[in-house]
Structure 1
Amino acid sequence: MGARPGGFLDRSRTVAPPGWNRWLVPPAALSVHLAIGQAYAWSVFKPPLESALGLSGTQSALPFQLGIVMLGLSAAFGGTLVERNGPRWAMFVSATCFSSGFLISALGAWTGQYWLVVLGYGFVGGIGLGIGYISPVSTLIKWFPDRPGMATGIAIMGFGGGALIASPWSAQMLETFGRTNTGIAQTFLVHGLAYAVFMSVGVLLIRVPTETAEKRVARSAVNVSARNALKTPQFWCLWVVLCFNVTAGIGILEKAAPMIRDFFADTSAPVAAGAAAGFVALLSLANMAGRIVWSSTSDLVGRKNIYRVYLGAGALTYLALALAGNTSKVLFVVCAMLILSFYGGGFATIPAYLKDLFGTYQVGAIHGRLLTAWSLAGVLGPLIVNAIADGQKAAGKAGPDLYTTSLHIMIVLLVVGFVANELVRPVAAKHHEPVLEGASR
């Protein structure tokens, strides 16, 4: 599927005129990423769905898990199409799929057919997530070759910050409409319509640099095709790094609201539902801030060094969380926010890391293929946390004991990711592209 030649979505219709201000591109990217970042607020829907449809914690995670799986798969298979057809086409496809996913989910909630919620939010909406996520990345790197970490951080910050808006917004709508099938359906319906309008801003505003500018950037660095990148150990080391860093963060994020309530349920001051939704918003803020702060820092200290922080300090933070238990809400919140900042920073820095290693030639397509690591992590993280928590609850345990084993597993995964990052070296010359005239394809 591609844009109609000469049509509104065609790449040629998005080439920037002379004097175009490149700082208009990040807001276009943000309009898409802030919308699809709603995925990080899924945990707000888990308790109402579990109550209304009689689901377990593992079952209520399915739409989110499938959405992340489809994010990675659609990014991997659609990456080349995005490079060929341009960001406007990609943003339009993303908006169509993401909004439609909510509308299908609304029908599922209204009729009590949970499989429609999984299909809509997870499958259809997940395709919108993947195409939308990669839609501006290559374009931003080409507009900001001098500060790729900062540029991608600004856009991908929106994905991390989407829940900062969506979490309290969703919680308020559920309170207004009710936590019944009908109330959940109405909330999904409003989301679908509102995001369709909001994402249209990016579709209209996005521009790409001229072909001459793209080729000039491409000649200034190493360039490796997406096909050849898959043959390098560097790609697979970064795949492991991304997969395990994401697994460690997404496990907490997907279950954030019920997790903090479980941790402190047996204390003198349990956490209310509204406060739990606020905790989700705080995690979104940390996720968002980490994406711009840490990725911008990587422009100064280097990508490998910043990933040493994400993975090494992340493992130590998880250890502190496991050892502290429910002794301090402040410590719990601070540790969780730090972990989520590393999680977000890892996402925002990976496109610049890929650009450093493989060049700008097909960085969008390479990034899309790398996001299959996110697909696995999207299943692995929530599965570890939810399955172990369900098992511990069935065994009669409560509080931090529901999550202690999961926290230790995350520490091990982050250590493995740390080792994989240490193994990254420059790409061998045999994988470089000898001719760059097709660099803008």
Structure 2
Amino acid sequence: MSSVADSTRGTAPAPFFSKEATIAPPGFSRWMVPPAALAVHLCIGQAYAFSVFNSPLTKVIGVTQSSPDDWTLTSLGWIFSLAIVFLGLSAAFGGKWLERVGPRRTMFTAACCFGGGFLVSALGVYLHQIVLLYLGYGVIGGIGLGLGYVSPVSTLIRWFPDRRGMATGLAIMGFGGGAMIAAPLSVMLMKHFSSDTSVGVAQTFVVLGIAYFISMTIGSIAIRVPAPGWQPAGWTPPATSGKLVSRSHVHIDQALKTPQFYLIWLVLFLNVTAGIGILGQASVMIQESFKDTVTAGAAAGFVGLLSLFNMGGRFVWASASDWVGRKNTYFIFFVFGAVLYYAVPQFAQSGNIVFFVLAYCLILSMYGGGFSTVPAYLADMFGTAFVGGIHGRLLTAWAAAGVAGPVLVNYVRAYQVAHGVAKADAYTMTVHIMASLLVVGFICNLLVRRVDEKHHMSDAQLAAAGK
């Protein structure tokens, strides 16, 4: 609105990447925003397919088989962990910047970092310097992941105040579904570029980096924010929507002084830890659990299927939370997730690949649902005025889980194999630990209560903050 007013006074229009330039004109359809969010989240969701590179990266020198100078799975596991760590850190520090500069500039910065991270990683593969993969995909790419992740979420919550769960599901389901595209695409590209002297990873990284930069840039150009005071036609904010839902707002910094923030932090951390380690090693895990039965191509299909349930769960569970409540939704995640984790080793030992795959698909649907439900949980607890920044800071839980989950899976497995446990049975102890974490998460969620009114902002404070 301000840019229109400025133009009528004869002043220069707002810079293209400024927050003012993204304010939607009257009559703009809010349904144009989800595709812009998906253009970014489908790209950064590639992180969930990174496991398809693990096996080829252990053969960069040997090509057909690992040589003594090739990288090990444990050293490669830190690439994914670093990416998740810097996702959480950049989201935490960038959330406040997002509130100031708007989603367009933040999303374009994410495009530069994520696409550029692939190019640096390609150089690392070519030179066989793993530090460049840590820097490229882990640090630079991780920053792109964090900025790209939080940018559309708060925007869609403001466009859909009447359907917060559905809105966050729309924003985040693309991140879960990105691997569904990236896994088979990456395998196809590596096969195309492979030769007697190359596994094709470096060339694949270059193609993906360029493609993702273009798609994310298009999303940043298309994004719009609602004008101040905008509401959906015919919608009136309800007096209250439940025991935990508040119409008041809490400042970003004040939210960190509430016990609710830390309880929800633990809820997210424990839910993510229980799923992310398995997801990061999904391709290798199913091949080792069903040796001589599951090929590399079938394992890539398994990763893609997990991505489909991860994506679908983000929309379905978050939308369902509009009806059953955020707290009750997490109760479902923790109870059924723990039961399924305890059952998975029995499915593997009996050779029942159908139940094995189905169990992990359900687990990953609830894992994804946890991500898409938590922004609406935060909006219910702390209001929508600063939900983008609060959500960004909460994602440090994801960063911590990005280390804890893969470390549990990789190093517990390595320890067991070193002590004579068959590879097919090496994940049993790990999944039992994951189930126990979900039980702790159930208790943390049980303790969540409504935010005390002393933390709420007054109308004068909101006006001073430009909200």
Give the TM-score range, shorter chain: over 0.9
Count of matched residue pairs = 435
Residue 222 of structure 1, CA deviation? 1.6
Counterpart of 2:21 in structure 1: which amino acid? R
Distance 1:231 1:181 in 2: 53
Distance 2:77 2:466 in 1: 39
Residue 61 of structure 1, CA deviation? 1.0
Residue 325 of structure 1, CA deviation? 3.0
The one of 406, 413, 419 equivalent to 2:430 is 406
Aligned to 1:434: 458
Question: What are the within-5 Å matches in structure 2 for residues 169-180 of structure 1?
Answer: 169-178=185-194
The answer (yes or no) to whether the contact 1:14–1:88 under 8 Å persists in 2 is yes
Aligned to 2:51: 43
Counterpart of 1:202 in structure 2: which amino acid? G
Distance 1:120 1:378 in 2: 17
Residue 400 of structure 1, CA deviation? 3.6
Tell me which stretches of 4 or more aligned residues in structure 1 moved more than 4 Å: 179-182, 216-220, 438-441
The answer (yes or no) to whether the contact 1:31–1:202 under 8 Å persists in 2 is yes
Residue 399 of structure 1, CA deviation? 3.8
Residue 118 of structure 1, CA deviation? 1.1
Distance 1:56 1:218 in 2: 56
Greater CA radius of gyration, 1 or 2? 2
Question: What are the within-5 Å matches in structure 2 for residues 264-343 of structure 1?
Answer: 264-265=290-291, 270-327=293-350, 328-343=352-367
Tell me the TM-score normalised to structure 1 length: 0.95
Aligned to 1:209: 226
The answer (yes or no) to whether the contact 2:290–2:348 under 8 Å persists in 1 is no
- Unaligned segments of structure 2, at least 5 residues: 1-12, 62-69, 240-245
Question: What are the within-5 Å matches in structure 2 for residues 95-244 of structure 1?
Answer: 95-178=111-194, 183-213=200-230, 221-244=247-270
Root mean square deviation, CA, Å:
1.9
Q: Classify 1:165/1:397 alpha carbon distance in 2 versus 1 (closer, same or farther; 3 Å).
A: same
Q: Secondary structure at the match of 2:15?
A: coil
Aligned to 2:282: 256
Q: Classify 1:217/1:6 alpha carbon distance in 2 versus 1 (closer, same or farther; 3 Å).
A: farther
Distance 1:332 1:439 in 2: 51
Residue 213 of structure 1, CA deviation? 2.1
Distance 2:170 2:247 in 1: 23
- Counting aligned pairs with the same residue, the percent is 56
Residue 218 of structure 1, CA deviation? 12
Q: Classify 1:346/1:301 alpha carbon distance in 2 versus 1 (closer, same or farther; 3 Å).
A: same
Residue 117 of structure 1, CA deviation? 1.0
Residue 217 of structure 1, CA deviation? 7.2
Whether 1:357 and 2:365 are equivalent positions in the alignment is no
Q: Classify 1:303/1:440 alpha carbon distance in 2 versus 1 (closer, same or farther; 3 Å).
A: farther
Residue 439 of structure 1, CA deviation? 5.5
Distance 1:326 1:191 in 2: 37
Residue 156 of structure 1, CA deviation? 0.3
Residue 324 of structure 1, CA deviation? 2.9
Residue 131 of structure 1, CA deviation? 0.4
Q: Secondary structure at the match of 2:191?
A: helix
More helix by share: 1
Q: Deviations over 1:288-327 (max 9, x none)?
A: 0000000000001100110001111111110111333332
Distance 2:438 2:95 in 1: 27
Tell me the TM-score normalised to structure 2 length: 0.90
Q: Classify 1:326/1:440 alpha carbon distance in 2 versus 1 (closer, same or farther; 3 Å).
A: farther
Q: Deviations over 1:243-286 (max 9, x none)?
A: 01001110110000000011112xxx521110000000000001
Distance 2:118 2:237 in 1: 39
Residue 62 of structure 1, CA deviation? 1.2
- Unaligned segments of structure 1, at least 5 residues: none
Distance 2:144 2:359 in 1: 31
Counterpart of 1:257 in structure 2: which amino acid? S
Residue 56 of structure 1, CA deviation? 1.9
